[in-house]
Amino acid sequence: MKKSLEKLLNKPLPVDPFMPQRAVITDIEELAPDHKKFSFAFCDESVNDSWNHIPGQFVMLTVPGAGEIPISICSSPTRKGTVELTVRKVGRKTEVLHRLKPGDYVAIRGPYGNGFPVGIMEGHNVLIIAGGLGIAPLRSLIWYILDRRHRFKEVYILYGTRSYEYVLYKEELKRLRERNDLKCLYTLDKFETEEDRRWADRKGLLTELIPMVELEPSETFVAVCGPPVAYRFIGKELLKHGYPESQIFVSLERKMECGIGKCGHCQIGYKFACIDGPVFPLWDTKNLPEMI
Amino acid sequence: MDFHIERAKVLPKSNLAKFLEGLKNLSTLIAPVKKGDKFIFSEIEKVSDVAVNYTRTILPPKKFLVPYRRERFSYSTDTLQFNKEFKVRDQIIFGVHSCDLHGISILDSVYLKENPDPRYLEIRKRTVLIGISCMPDEFCFCLSTGTAFPDGANWDLFLTDIGADYFVTIGSPKGDEIVLKLRKLFKDIEKKDLYLYKESTSKKKKAFKLEKLPDLERISQLIELEYDSEVWKEGSERCLGCGTCTNVCPTCFCYTSVDVPTLDGKKVKRIEFTTSCQYPYYSLVAGGHYFKPDRASRFKHRYYHKFVGYPYQIEKLGCVGCGRCSAECPAGISIVETINRLRGIDEKELREATEQASSR
Amino acid sequence: MVRIGIMGLTGCSGCQCEILNCQEALLKMLKRVSINFFPLAQDDNSLEDLDILFVEGSVTTEEDERKVKKGREVSSLLVAIGSCACYGGVQSQRNDEVSLTEMVKAVYGEKGVPVKVSKPRAVSEVVEVDYELPGCPLDKKQFVYTVASLLSGVKPFFPKIPVCHECKLSENECLILKGIPCQGPVTFSGCGAPCTSAGVGCQGCRGNCDFPNFEEMVSLLTQRGLSVEDAVKFLKVFRGYTAKEIKVRGVVDEKGA
Amino acid sequence: MKRELNVNHLSRVEGHGAVDIVIDGSALKEIRLRFTEGPRFFEYITRERLYTEIPKIVSRICGICYVSHRLASSMAIEDAFGVEVTEEIKLLRKLLIVGEYLESHALHLYFLALPDYMGYGSAIEMAKDYPNIVKRGFAIKEVGNRIMKTIAGKTVHGENVLAGGFKSIPEKEQLERIRDDLYGIIPELKATLSLFDSLNYPEANSPHNYELSLKGGHFGSLCEELEISDGTVFTKREYEFFVEEEVSPYSTAKRSTIKGKAFLIGPLARVNRALDSYHPSVKEEIKKLKNALPSSNPFLSNLARAVELLEAGFLGIETVERLLNAYPFEPEVPLEPKKGEGYGVKEAPRGTLYHRYAFDENGRCIGANIITPTAQLQAVIEENLASLVEKDLHLPDSELKKRAEMLVRAYDP
Ligand SMILES: Cc1cc2nc3c(=O)[nH]c(=O)nc-3n(C[C@H](O)[C@H](O)[C@H](O)COP(=O)(O)OP(=O)(O)OC[C@H]3O[C@@H](n4cnc5c(N)ncnc54)[C@H](O)[C@@H]3O)c2cc1C
Ligand code: SF4
Ligand code: SF4
Ligand code: SF4
């Protein structure tokens, strides 16, 4: 028998990676229409203590009766004790999740995926670009950076949504804007209400904010997350302004059933979004033509 | 137990039925049987049903390692207690061809290397694989994929047809044990047997129509470079998107899982079922966005995954040349033809390339 | 108790029979649901205040239309069951070929029918439909799964994949390859491919799968002895109003050739 | 005083029916049985379709007796093309019919009719007090369903019933399973017969002008001749000559008559004729009945169904045995389309039905006529209703309505 196979077959049965941990909902915050932030605590204390993740990673969340969904972790690993997820109501499973109340059980497994390369980002400028719900995984990164502010150089946050109503983490983002150790630029698609005007720095697309960023591109790491259609334009704009493609990281969404490279649904070209991503350098888009 | 060490034995064909009977007494026996004009792997009740000289089964033996519909676990709705109910039995899969053995190797890599799946591991541990040699038909191209012969043993026993007998190579302690238990049926190898065994290799190679074989050298790069080729579009016009090609493939592993509540609402089962990248919903995400929006992109994806994805993930081609996808496609689309057209190579060049490959 | 209703419009009652054929599951179901409306099987029926209403049959008469509209009003969820309710059923296969008056005249003569009729329509053409369980008749397992899911407050999940999926996984010899006309590649699975398993080609009773490739389907059927015209008619039988999606590749060429 | 009774939605009958009764003083003025079922134009949608499509399309006329429509149309097609199927195919068809009868009769007896006699609104209610009786109904139905599923592919609208025979035949093990199932339910069938013999049927003695059935009256018969109770025997080709159809002014079902008069079809008409041809054990059981057969009480249709159920059990066993002896056999005979006309008749559980088709030389249908049991029952039910109402005029409205409903249900139109 082959050595490699012998090694594989002689392993003892591993901990089941498909088996989630029971958790209880501790808090639910309504962020915007159809968007809620859920906080969870694992029923098993030891899991709570040992929980650690990298910003940009995601979990597989079992919604009782409905099934499993991949959701990015929006809390920062620097703040322990709870796992937070922000979920938009879009379909079968998220609908059921949105009906749950604090105290209800769910089950979670993870964290999965690679996350943003925070280690190599250290010592550089960071430009964070978020569109809509894309702010969720980036919120994790933002707080990670702010809690270790000294390790990073300049930080920019660009955030665009439909309208003020759909701005997520409103209070947090307002307070960020008041800080002087980072710059925030916010945009909205619509400029209809008074609130819209008060909130946004300008009306229009996220891409229009990029020229306003005053950073040395070669010294900067960029983290992008947004709706699938936005990537192409954001990527083009960033390249135009001289950001190196190996320093631009995009977080992608795909259909996922397992989160651990077994179900195949998340394939992007030859890569799996779950184990090779969901964060990819923009360079990959050349190899993975259908990525964006 | 006797101390027993042996590399190979000879099983006279006349003893085959007894051998099978012996296997059946050891545990559940699975082997190819005839169904209509085709063959399928099936649990054996009467050993006389076993078809030894088959070319290919409709579905690969994969179905006994990764059932097409399987329960991952169930949980109670009120307290969310998880419960695994699946049972694993000992099984012997007899009569597996070389390509399918290679296919199982690929599944092993997928399921056991990164994030090993305990269910697969348990099934795999309790499965004995007994291979058998075969002759190619017009759909086979395992010579190109390098899977025409079993390599460094992921099998327990392998039977090579050498005329009046089978030359039985022993690949694992489990295989050895079987031979030991049924040793009355076997003969020791003689020089002529070894000669015939060696000869069988070239005999099989010669049975391929070389000019029909695809050239798979540098296929990964080729497919990447031909990303925008018209060949994809032309193929996809005929493709029905019926998923047959992936469902019959020994290396495809994609699945979808659904949580199915029971009627009393007290329990939920998580069911996983085999799916195909050829189905539109496969790449559908929230907001109605299809990542593989048209048939051409789905059609192309299969080749992309087989010839670029697998090499990236597990360092092997994802195709073992079994020819099932071409033999079963209702629209008659052939993987070999697609590759040849992609390559755009002329006949002569192709022959030279494969002759070289086969003489290696 | 969840209140459900089962209503029959113009159809063969086969779907309602299949529901009665669920037997064991039905008895289990009755622990959690009360059947408030089911004229085929019980006397006291009230079409009021329902949680789920299952509707069988196509909308063909004025009475059908009135009934289904009322049903929609009083029920939170409306599930169309069977191909008549989902697509219009076999009775709608000639909707695009002939006029209603012609049909009435041919079958009933000059006197006509004593009720007000329209061309057979799918339920969704008249009222909003929440879920569709196609099939002629509907599939028992899918019905039970749908009820179980809805009782748990979850929408059922039905990927619209082709019948070939279930056919191949049942290890049938492909009928198309054997020269027998089969609609498996363009038909919405979920039935478990009973027809192809019995050696009869799929007749398409469950309607379209996602993005069916009709051009190739028609061309395959013509290679198996049907004329283009007959192939299209074969495909049309159960597809009702969705039959207009059937496209034929290079019609002129194929006729010429 | 004018009384008007309307049962607008007959429940527990398949399809949509309504009864209007108008009574003036002490005389019945008008009685109307209306079928409000939407028309589906089967005679028209079959036109221009290939013969291979016909059985499939007409199968959808009725989900309960689809086997009958499929077989009648298949036989009509075979007739038109001048082919005869083999003995084995006929046997397999017979077995299929056994399945159909077990399913349909059990459904009717236990779920549609029995609640009336036991005083319940539905079998679901009845199940609470009499779970075992309902379970027995389920058990019989289940065997019928399994037979249909095994032979036809599905329980309802199985596509494996075609002109020329079948595309495939069941495996030997499956046939053996059917045989064992059938042996298993014989006691249940006997119990059904005695249960339905013990019920209190309303008195109604309305001798029918004519009774019509296939010759001999046996439900499993595949013969091509028909028989009227006055002794007339005719072939299926003469059907439209004897049974005349006219469009009804108030019902979507057409109305048929023989020699201008209403006639009875269905279980009672059949059993009245077939008593002598039954299996000895069935004859034995019939002797024990307290209700006498033959009979002209339409309510006894239910008893007739129970008799046929038992006969179906024995016929089934005999047929499977013969099939097993002949195993394996060719599933179909080849068909060669040609121009012409063909006829098919068959005893459906609720009565005789008739199909006629004309084909062009390519085997496309150019004309069809289908006479369903419902159409033929229209007149006789109205007639029976009239005599029932006249006899029971004194009864209060609700009771009279209930009687009327029970009567219609006994016919299961
Ligand atoms: C790595 C990753 C991180 C994500 N992070 C977040 C997050 O932080 N917040 C958030 O709200 N959403 C997130 N999503 C998306 C989220 O998983 C889907 O919105 C969710 O699965 C939809 O489930 P549903 O059952 O409600 O929708 P469905 O009713 O199943 O379908 C609605 C739509 O969602 C698609 N869909 C179904 N299942 C999945 C799936 N497993 N993955 C993706 N799409 C699917 C369907 O194809 C359909 O188009 C993330 C997805 C990925 C892959
Ligand atoms: S891709 Fe086709 S030939 Fe290759 S292994 Fe899969 S089924 Fe066999
Ligand atoms: S028989 Fe029909 S359904 Fe089955 S694989 Fe072939 S085309 Fe598909
Ligand atoms: S195989 Fe086709 S015709 Fe048969 S039940 Fe399924 S969808 Fe209907």
Please work out whether the CB of residue B335 comes within 6 Å of at least one atom of ligand 2: yes
Torsion (CA) B113, B119, B124, B126 in degrees, nearest 10: 140
Please work out whether the CB of residue D399 comes within 6 Å of at least one atom of ligand 4: no
Interacting residues of B314 by C-beta distance below 8 A, sequence separation 6+: B106, B109, B110, B113
Task: Please list every residue in chain D whose beta carbon sits closer than 8 Å to the beta carbon of residue C200.
Answer: 153, 159-160, 162, 167-168
Indicate the domain borders of chain D. Answer: 42-411
pLDDT digits (tens, 9 = 90+) for B205-225: 888 887 778 888 888 888 888
Average pLDDT of the residues of chain C: 88
Name the least confident of B55-64, B351-360, D387-396: B351-360
Looking at residues B44-71, what average pLDDT do you find? 91
Indicate the domain borders of chain C. Answer: 2-151, 163-245
Q: Which chains touch C (3 or more CB pairs under 8 A)?
A: A, B, D
| Predicted local distance difference test score (pLDDT) of residue C257 | 36
Identity of the amino acid at A180: N
8 Å CB contact between A175 and A157: no
CATH for the stretch C2-151: 3.40.50.700
Q: Give C12→chain D minimum CA distance, Å.
A: 4
Res B303 pLDDT > 50:
yes
Protein residue with its CA nearest to atom 36 in ligand 1: B285
Partner-chain residue, chosen from A20, A64, A270, that has the shortest CB–CB distance to B304: A270
* A/B Cβ contact: 3+ pairs below 8 Å: yes
Question: What percent of chain A clears pLDDT 90, i.e. is strictly above it?
Answer: 19
Cβ distance A96 to C154 less than 8 Å, yes or no, reads: yes
Res B354 pLDDT > 70:
no
Ligand 2 atom closest to the Cα of residue B103 is: 5
pLDDT digits (tens, 9 = 90+) for D220-239: 888 889 999 888 899 999 88
Indicate the domain borders of chain B. Answer: 8-209, 219-359
Q: Which of A275, A227, A279, A277 is nearest to A249 (CA)?
A: A279
In whole angstroms, give the CA distance from residue D295 to residue D208.
Answer: 10
Please work out whether the CB of residue C163 comes within 6 Å of at least one atom of ligand 4: yes
- DSSP conformational letter for D1: -
Cβ distance C155 to A99 less than 8 Å, yes or no, reads: no
Partner-chain residue, chosen from A17, A68, A290, that has the shortest CB–CB distance to B257: A68
Q: Which chains touch A (3 or more CB pairs under 8 A)?
A: B, C
| Predicted local distance difference test score (pLDDT) of residue B351 | 58
Split at pLDDT 50, 70, 90, the class of B350 is low
Determine contact: A90 vs chain B, CB below 8 A.
Answer: yes
Name the least confident of A229-233, A284-288, B272-276, C114-118: A284-288
Name the least confident of A266-270, C175-179, D145-149, D356-360: A266-270
DSSP codes joined into one string, A96-107: HHHH--TT-EEE
CATH for the stretch D42-411: 1.10.645.10
3-state secondary structure of C25: helix
Ligand 2 atom closest to the Cα of residue B326 is: 2
Protein residue with its CA nearest to atom 37 in ligand 1: B285
CATH for the stretch A2-112: 2.40.30.10
Protein residue with its CA nearest to atom 4 in ligand 4: C195
Split at pLDDT 50, 70, 90, the class of B1 is very low
Please indicate whether residue B321 or residue B85 has the higher confidence score (pLDDT). B321
Task: Please list every residue in chain C whose beta carbon sits closer than 8 Å to the beta carbon of residue D160.
Answer: 195, 198-200
Ligand 1 atom closest to the Cα of residue A89 is: 26
Res A84 pLDDT > 70:
yes
Split at pLDDT 50, 70, 90, the class of C251 is low
Partner-chain residue, chosen from B259, B260, B281, that has the shortest CB–CB distance to C210: B281
Partner-chain residue, chosen from A2, A14, A275, that has the shortest CB–CB distance to B153: A2
- DSSP conformational letter for D112: I
| Predicted local distance difference test score (pLDDT) of residue B348 | 55
In whole angstroms, give the CA distance from residue D77 to residue D83.
Answer: 9
Which residue of C26, C32, C160, C174 is the best one to mutate when testing the B interface, meaning the one whose CB has the most B CBs within 10 A? Answer: C174
Cβ distance C164 to B330 less than 8 Å, yes or no, reads: yes
Partner-chain residue, chosen from D39, D48, D254, that has the shortest CB–CB distance to C117: D39
Looking at residues B183-192, what average pLDDT do you find? 88
| Predicted local distance difference test score (pLDDT) of residue C226 | 87
Split at pLDDT 50, 70, 90, the class of B353 is low
Please work out whether the CB of residue C193 comes within 6 Å of at least one atom of ligand 4: yes
| Predicted local distance difference test score (pLDDT) of residue B100 | 93
Ligand 1 atom closest to the Cα of residue A274 is: 1
8 Å CB contact between B182 and B19: yes
Chain A residue whose CA is closest to B154: A1
Chain D residue whose CA is closest to C25: D138
Determine contact: B27 vs chain A, CB below 8 A.
Answer: no
Interacting residues of B16 by C-beta distance below 8 A, sequence separation 6+: B52, B166
3-state secondary structure of B68: coil
Protein residue with its CA nearest to atom 6 in ligand 1: A71
8 Å CB contact between A168 and A136: yes
Please work out whether the CB of residue C191 comes within 6 Å of at least one atom of ligand 4: yes
Q: Give CA separation, A261 vs A112, A113, A257, B107, C82, in Å.
A: 10, 10, 9, 12, 38
pLDDT digits (tens, 9 = 90+) for A47-66: 888 888 899 999 999 999 89
| Predicted local distance difference test score (pLDDT) of residue D382 | 85
| Predicted local distance difference test score (pLDDT) of residue C71 | 92
Chain D residue whose CA is closest to C65: D38
Q: Give C257→chain D minimum CA distance, Å.
A: 20
Cβ distance D38 to C40 less than 8 Å, yes or no, reads: no
Chain C residue whose CA is closest to D155: C18
Q: Nearest ligand to the C-alpha of residue C187? A: 4
| Predicted local distance difference test score (pLDDT) of residue A5 | 80
| Contact map slice: A 38-67 vs C, CB within 8 A | 65-67
* C/D Cβ contact: 3+ pairs below 8 Å: yes
Neighbours of D275 (CB within 10 A): 15
Please work out whether the CB of residue B327 comes within 6 Å of at least one atom of ligand 2: no
Cβ distance C154 to A99 less than 8 Å, yes or no, reads: no
Q: State the CATH architecture for A118-291.
A: 3-Layer(aba) Sandwich (3.40)
In whole angstroms, give the CA distance from residue B19 to residue B28.
Answer: 14
Task: Please list every residue in chain A whose beta carbon sits closer than 8 Å to the beta carbon of residue B289.
Answer: 228
Question: A257 CA distance to ligand 1 centroid (A)?
Answer: 10
Question: D250 CA distance to ligand 2 centroid (A)?
Answer: 64
Task: Please list every residue in chain C whose beta carbon sits closer than 8 Å to the beta carbon of residue B326.
Answer: none
Tokens of B308: 């670029």
Identity of the amino acid at B288: G
Identity of the amino acid at B18: K
| Contact map slice: A 96-115 vs B, CB within 8 A | 105-107
Res A258 pLDDT > 90:
no
Give the pTM: 0.90
8 Å CB contact between B159 and B8: no
Q: Give C157→chain D minimum CA distance, Å.
A: 23
In whole angstroms, give the CA distance from residue C132 to residue C111.
Answer: 37
Question: A56 CA distance to ligand 1 centroid (A)?
Answer: 16
| pLDDT < 70 regions, chain D | 1, 15, 207, 413
Please, what sign has the CA dihedral across residues D74, D79, D83, D84?
Answer: positive
| Predicted local distance difference test score (pLDDT) of residue D349 | 92
| Predicted local distance difference test score (pLDDT) of residue D139 | 93
Question: C157 CA distance to ligand 1 centroid (A)?
Answer: 14
Determine contact: B241 vs chain C, CB below 8 A.
Answer: yes
| Predicted local distance difference test score (pLDDT) of residue C253 | 45
| Predicted local distance difference test score (pLDDT) of residue B40 | 93
Question: B37 CA distance to ligand 3 centroid (A)?
Answer: 15
pLDDT winner (highest mean) among A227-231, B29-33, D401-405: B29-33
Q: Which chains touch B (3 or more CB pairs under 8 A)?
A: A, C
Please, what sign has the CA dihedral across residues C143, C148, C152, C158?
Answer: negative
